Amino acid sequence: MTLWRLSKKTSSVSRPTSATLVIMDPVPYSVFLAPGFLLFEALQLVAAEKLLGVKQIEAGHLDRDNNPGAKIAAFWVIGILAEAAWALSLLPNDVTRLHAGCILLVSLFGLSARNGCPLKWVLVILTVESACRMGLMVAMLGAAWRAL
């Protein structure tokens, strides 16, 4: 994709020269899968609230043996792995590199924080982690849209 710059002297569009021609990477179309991953993040929050919600915590039912069914667990794992693979595939592009890298970093920090905390804090960490990832996806969509 080439961009034309305005000339500072005449305020008109100038012919590209070697100094004014800017070449950018094209926006990968896979960035527009973000709404599907936003939906997955929302479903993940609903499932976490159901399994580890405030009502469960208040009732004192804090056990790590309360597992979801096999189909739900499989969907959850496939979604997490697909989101990570999607973010990794966006790293080589200039437009999406920063957001995709931050999505991966938030996921890694969230995973390490959830593994080392008491069970009643897992829902809080998961909520903050999902909110950060969702915000980064929306920002990445905006950046990609502006770069088209």
Q: Please say if the pLDDT value at position 16 is more than 80.
A: no
- 136 within 8 A of 144, measured Cβ to Cβ: no
Of residues 45, 12, 14, 18, the one with CA closest to residue 4 = 14
DSSP-based helix, strand, coil % in the chain, nearest 5: 65, 5, 30
Q: Chain-wide mean pLDDT for the chain?
A: 82
Scan for tokens 């909110």, then name that residue.
131
Rg (CA), the chain: 21
Query: 0.95 exceeded by the pTM?
Result: no
- Measured in degrees and rounded to the nearest 5, phi and psi for residue 81 equal -65, -40
Scan for tokens 């915000």, then name that residue.
135
Query: Looking at residue 51, what is its pLDDT?
Result: 75
Query: Looking at residue 23, what is its pLDDT?
Result: 60
- pLDDT, average across residues 19-39: 81
**DSSP reduced 3-state for 3:** strand
Query: Looking at residue 65, what is its pLDDT?
Result: 60
Query: Looking at residue 1, what is its pLDDT?
Result: 45
**DSSP reduced 3-state for 96:** coil
Q: Indicate the pLDDT class of residue 57, thresholds 50, 70 and 90.
A: low
